[in-house]
Chains A and B, each alone.
Chain A
Amino acid sequence: MATAATSRRLPASERLRRSLGNGRVSAILILLPPALILFTLFVILPLGESGYYSFFNWNGYGAPSDFVGLENYERIAGHSIFHKAVGNTVKIVAVSLLIQMPLALALALLIFRKTPTNAVFRLIFFVPYILAEVAAGLIWSFVFDGNYGITASVAQSLGMDSLFILADRDWAFVAVMTVIVWKYFGFHMMIYIAALQSVPEDLIESGRIEGAKRLQIVRYVQIPHIKPAIIVSAFFAIIGALQVFDVIIPLTNGGPSNQTHTIVTYLYTFGLTRLNIGFGSAVGVILFVAAITVAVFYQRFFMKGDKA
Chain B
Amino acid sequence: MAEVRLNNITKKFGAVTVIPDMSLTVPDGSFTVLVGPSGCGKSTLLRIISGLEMPSDGEVMIGGEDVTFAEPSDRGISMVFQSYALYPHMTVAQNIDFGLRLAKTPAAEREARVAEAARILALEDYLDRKPGQLSGGQRQRVAIGRSIVRQPKVFLFDEPLSNLDAALRGQMRVELAQLHQSLDATMIYVTHDQVEAMTLADQIVVMNRGRIEQVGAPMDLYDRPMTEFVAGFIGSPKMNLLPGAAIGRGDVKTVGIRPEHLRADPETGDWPATAKVVETLGADTVVYADAETLGEITVRLPGKMRLSAGERLFLSPEPGNLHLFDEDGHRMEQTA
Contact = CB atoms under 8 A, between A and B. Distances in A.
Given A220-B98, A308-B130, A308-B132, A209 B89 contact: no
Contacts of A200: 83, 85
A209 B83 contact: no
Interface in A193-238: 200, 202-203, 205-212, 216, 220-221, 224-225, 227
B107 interface: no
B133 to A, nearest CB: 9
Given A216-B102, A220-B87, A206 B132 contact: no
B83 A210 contact: no
B274 interface: no
A207 B51 CA distance: 13
Contacts, number: 57
Interface size on A, as a range, is 10 to 19
B52 interface: yes
Contact of B73 (A202, A210, A306, A308): A210
A210 B81 contact: no
A210 B99 CA distance: 5
B98 A210 contact: yes
Contacts of A220: 87, 98
B72 interface: yes
A45 B170 CA distance: 66
Given A202-B81, A208-B52, A210-B146, A225 B88 contact: yes
Give the interface SS of chain B, mostly helix, strand, loop or mixed.
Answer: loop
A6 B89 CA distance: 43
Contact of B89 (A211, A212, A308): A308
A224 B85 contact: no
A208 B88 contact: no
Contacts of A202: 81, 83, 85
B324 interface: no
Interface string B70-107: 01110001110101010111100000001100110000
A210 B88 contact: no
Contact of A206 (B71, B79, B89, B103): B79
Contacts of A206: 79, 81, 85, 146
B140 interface: no
Contacts of B51: 209
A206 B283 CA distance: 42
B73 A208 contact: yes
Contacts of A225: 88-89
Contacts of B52: 205, 208-209
B50 interface: yes
Contacts of A221: 87
Most buried by A among B51, B71, B72, B130: B72
Contact of A210 (B89, B102, B130, B132): B102
A102 B32 CA distance: 46
B150 interface: yes
Interface in B38-56: 50-52
Nearest to A206: B85
Given A209-B52, A210-B146, A220-B98, A308 B88 contact: yes
Interface in A157-207: 200, 202-203, 205-207
Nearest to B147: A209
Contact of B50 (A203, A209, A212, A216): A209
A216 to B, nearest CB: 6
Query: Chain B CB within 10 Å — which of A200, A207, A210 has the most?
Result: A210
A205 B78 CA distance: 11
Nearest to B71: A208
A207 B150 CA distance: 13
A229 B83 CA distance: 23
Interface of B: 50-52, 71-73, 77-79, 81, 83, 85, 87-90, 98-99, 102-103, 130, 132, 146, 150
**What 9 A-B pairs have minimum CB-CB distances, sorted nearest first?**
A211-B73, A210-B99, A202-B85, A206-B85, A224-B89, A211-B102, A209-B72, A202-B83, A202-B81
Interface of A: 200, 202-203, 205-212, 216, 220-221, 224-225, 227, 306, 308
9 contacts: A200-B83, A202-B81, A205-B85, A210-B102, A211-B99, A220-B87, A220-B98, A225-B89, A308-B88
Given A208-B71, A210-B146, A212-B98, 8 more contacts: A205-B52, A205-B79, A206-B79, A208-B52, A209-B52, A209-B72, A211-B73, A308-B132
